[in-house]
A and B are shown apart, each in its own frame.
Chain A
Amino acid sequence: METLISILVGILVTVAVYLLLSRNLIRVILGTAVLSHAAHLLLITMGGLKKGSAPLLGEGAESYTDALPQALILTAIVISFAVTALLLVLAYRTYKKTATDDLQALRGFEDE
Chain B
Amino acid sequence: MEFFKRRREADTQLSRYRDQKFQGSRAEQEDKLLKSSTVYVGNLSFYTSEEQIYELFGKCGDIKRVILGLDRITKTPCGFCFVEFYDREDARNAMRYVKGTRLDDRIVRVDWDTGFEEGRQYGRGKTGGQVRDE
Answer yes or no: do A and B interact. Answer: no
